[in-house]
Amino acid sequence: MPAHQLAPDISNDPADVLAAEQAHLADSRKALQAMREHAQSLSADAAGDWVSQQVLQSLLDKRVAALADHPDTPLFFGRLDRGTKDDLPGTIYVGRRHVHDGGSRPLVIDWRAPVSRPFYQASPADPMGVVRRRRFGYHGGALTAYEDEPLDQGGEIGPSKILTEEIERPRTGPMRDIVATIQPDQDAIVRAELGQTVCVQGAPGTGKTAVGLHRAAYLLFTHRERLARSGVMIVGPNRAFLSYISSVLPALGEVKVDQTTVADLLGASDAPEEPAVAALKGDARMAAVLERALWLHISKPEEGLVYTRGVHRFRVADYEVREIVASLRGTTRYAPGRAALAQRLAHQVLVRMEQRGDSPDDRVQDAVARSKPVKQLVDAVWPKVTPAQVLFRLLSDAEFLAKACHKSEISPDEQEMLLWRKPYRGWKSAKWSAADAALLDELADLIERTPSLGHLVVDEAQDLSEMQLRALGRRCRNGSATVLGDLAQGTTPWSTTSWKAVLRHLGQDEGEVTELTLGFRVPREVLDYAARLLPDVAPGLAPPQSLRPGLGSLSVRPGAAVTDAVHEALAREGSIGLIVPDALAAEVSGRLTGIPHAVLDPDSTEEDHRLLIVPATLAKGLEYDHVIVVEPAAIVAAEPRGLARLYVVLTRAVTSLTVLHDDPLPAALT
């Protein structure tokens, strides 16, 4: 291995140091290519059988994909010169993945490895055995600069120019990882133990989404085998958001993580519904109603069982059937209880066979359980039902709904709200709303247990109903979760005001709530302007702070033309988000004739245009270098929590925010 790869700098000349680091980068890229070629050369044919071959080939394909080089992103971004004498190298390069040479000596250490933690946590007060931390600056994938921070001399370290430039670097396309810029408070969240559920209240620009994604990558690295079996899932608010974050985990070497929306997870249900009705259906009180509605399908047995075998007839008395049903009811899920009823009836028949001197085995019991007399009795007493059948009956039959609501907190007036005004002909033709989807999922779990994942990352969790949270909680009942959001950005009729309540409905009561208030993305001038809305939107939250002053980043223009603002933004470097009231998206697009752009929709995949027209309801979680907001008053007027929506919209800018309006601004912004 060349001396410059592990030894301290042999020259104090910055040009020589940079050349040595560039050489190390070149050697590391060659080594990564060699690792990938080696993985590609391996064959699954050595496996003993076809099934083993398929499993091994899948593992090899994942390994090859994980070793892909991304020439436009840094392979490593930091270096640690250690003063501690131990078995570890004196110089460690910290990067996105582990890279070793032909002799298995590390050229780059994965940022998730324990030895890399000092890169994020070390300080002059606690150097963690590190003498010097070096940060690298890049243009594309080319190393262009470095910056040293001595950690063994006490005192304080000033702001890192490279770190600041990386945070402020103009961006286009999907979200990029923040692995090179993770701050100590963020790192503590990222490296939280797998068994710990973490809830992050994050002000705009604090990197909460990126922190959640990096925690997923960290847990996959640290608990690879366990999570490979149980799985990790990312749940976002819409497909446009998922497209925006889609490149983060692959850039960190994680190519097998499911990413979905609540709507896709629970099933496509988009029938229109009044907000008040949707809010009621999203209330956790509905869980008890659904459970009672399901078990109301069980009827009291009035007849016993008669099973004929040859010339013998075996009877199970009606009172014995009632005892069996009563012992099963409510002690198991509905479908397993139905199966157990058949088996217990069959067992009673076998007891009577043995009393006659027969010696039946398990095969006979299974045959009895599947026999016509047993099936007829089970169908009559414990009928087979689907979630859609139960919910259809609940929403279309006032008498049945009243029975299901008995002893519940659902009032008669609320019951009236739940009933369909024009019931569908049958459950198969019923059209379900988004709120219904969570109810159907609750019923499905009452009938058959929902499988649990190892870890769940939920973003924009403040916008989920209590029933949606219960649905997600079932997916991590045997695992843990990372819950991300901002109470000030709640825009649904059921938006939460308490993270403890969110954790309770997720079934993760022991989760830890932590807060990120220091922003890196949004300029201070812009953030302070948006924060004027907080007393109305979330009066209990402290105003967020930004490390970036951003003087001149805010422009509020009454009567200004959209096209003029767009041309000004296009003259600058970076992405542009033109955020408009949903109802004006087509009209504004028409004004931009001749200017290349695209209109974002909920199902949008990655767009190549620098300029995107973004309907206000899709802006959450996205960010752009330059944001132009059109008619804030119309955004506020479009929905009950319009001020919260406007707060979201005003905090999407990384470099500049321009507000255009003909109508008067909301009072808080004047």
Tell me what pLDDT residue 205 has: 85
**Which tokens belong to 356?**
């006659």
- pTM for the predicted model, two decimal places: 0.87
Express each pLDDT in 426-462 by its tens digit. Answer: 999 999 999 999 999 999 999 999 999 999 999 999 9
Spell out a b/e string for 425-441, using b for 16 or more CB atoms within 10 Å of the CB, else e: eebeebebbbbbbbbbb
Tell me what pLDDT residue 607 has: 60
Question: Cα–Cα distance between 171 and 72 in angstroms, integer?
Answer: 13
Tell me what pLDDT residue 45 has: 75
Tell me what pLDDT residue 89 has: 85
- Low-confidence residues in the chain, pLDDT < 70: 1-11, 167-174, 604-607
Specify the pairing of strand 76-82 against strand 91-95: antiparallel
Distances (CA, A) of 451 to 333, 475, 486: 14, 6, 29
211 CB burial (10 A radius; 0-12, 13-18, 19+)? buried
Tell me what pLDDT residue 2 has: 37
Tell me what pLDDT residue 526 has: 96
Tell me what pLDDT residue 6 has: 42
Starting at the earlier edge strand, list the strands of the sheet with 576-580.
Answer: 554-558, 653-661, 624-630, 576-580, 611-615, 598-599
Tell me what pLDDT residue 173 has: 61
Helix axis angle, 286-295 relative to 387-396, nearest 10°? 110
Question: Cα–Cα distance between 147 and 145 in angstroms, integer?
Answer: 7
Tell me what pLDDT residue 171 has: 59
The dihedral built from the CA positions of residue 88, 90, 94 and 97, taken in this order, carries a sign that is negative
Tell me what pLDDT residue 602 has: 81
